[in-house]
Structure 1
């Protein structure tokens, strides 16, 4: 085991947690992108549906490089769902809800994971199988909270930025579009350079993730364990 731990030491997660992480990310990314596609379709844009993205099939949603980077660096991405704003019945409202659908889907998955996590504790079953199930749902809950908070950051190309883009006036939106490419570069710099990360989005992420995750844990602990 020590040999494999050294071999895979570049991974952002412990080797023993890797199966839980992979399963969680496959589900979380697929549901996230499906949610975008579904809301877009409901608002009149069939672009994602026509490209086969209105599905929970992971094969059409996962980006190989984005998934690999998530395992190695702790951040990554899935394939973005194509949206044609000109085909939306209500472009401004539709745009906001389409962008919001992805993070909200991860929050719902986190709630489901938390419920199963504390249900397992409440029935008090021992054994390796139950311990593995508990560890999986703990990781499932935590990673979906991470994706929920992370995607709400107001930086391109994240959903939080898209939400702001649809809330501002058309003039401001046009100016944001002009600088979007630079914003993406700034985002990558902030994520990849530790001192800048710790001075900017690092504390926001830690506090946001801690707040949401702790409250999910507290809620279901109170519900199932009293």
Structure 2
């Protein structure tokens, strides 16, 4: 029973920040889209923190569990994308760029908030206030906040990679001259293949780690 409780605690340390990060990311897309004229996400009940309406079996459950069980050096996942009808957005391509940017910016804000919690708990331990029951409660929260910082930064950086359908590709398509934006949009069918190749060859780490490490040093 003790081992089961410890396993549940350890899974929760990762699961809670992961769910909050990926769900908030998608909710932000839908919320900004609504503000710019497209209420599709609201009408479908997707502007909600209820995980049941956002869970993607592969991205929210299977892949994170596999990475956790195999002690992978990184954790990644995603929620079911919120539907956005870009032609309904005010501002045209610029509106699309703002909708795309909303997700990574939300992850940046969550990373900053988690870093604040991390530092506050660290101060409590350093000052000697976190003892006994308080220490038992604060230690999992401390680890949860630490993981939340890293995971949100990873999610932000991955999504800002400038290839559609990732958010960075949509942001770039929204600010480039129309001709270049059209040429970039043609890459969308190959976007995820490019990401898979980068992951398989290890190049993703070379692109990802320096940026994540820079923000992690700043926050932690």
TM bucket, shorter chain: 0.7 to 0.9
Q: Which sits farther off after the overlay, 208-217 or 120-129?
A: 120-129
Counterparts of residues 1-226 of structure 1 (less than 5 Å)? 17-67=10-60, 68-73=62-67, 74-124=75-125, 125-126=130-131, 127-191=135-199, 193=200, 196-197=201-202, 200-217=203-220
Q: Aligned pair in 2 of structure 1 residues 149, 15: CA closer, same or farther (>3 Å)?
A: farther
Q: 1:32: Cα distance to partner?
A: 0.7
Count of residue correspondences:
202
Q: 1:15: Cα distance to partner?
A: 8.7
Give the number of the structure with larger relative contact order, counting CA–CA contacts within 8 Å between residues 6 or more apart. Answer: 2
Q: 1:38: Cα distance to partner?
A: 0.5
Gaps of 5+ in 1: 5-13, 218-226
Partner Cα separation in structure 2 for residue 17 and residue 146 of structure 1:
20
Query: Does structure 1 retain, via aligned residues, the 8 Å contact 2:38–2:85?
Result: yes
Q: Aligned pair in 2 of structure 1 residues 167, 70: CA closer, same or farther (>3 Å)?
A: farther
Query: Does structure 1 retain, via aligned residues, the 8 Å contact 2:173–2:182?
Result: no
Q: Aligned pair in 2 of structure 1 residues 56, 155: CA closer, same or farther (>3 Å)?
A: same
- What is the TM-score when the length of structure 2 is the normalising length? 0.84
Gaps of 5+ in 2: 68-74
Q: Aligned pair in 2 of structure 1 residues 117, 82: CA closer, same or farther (>3 Å)?
A: same
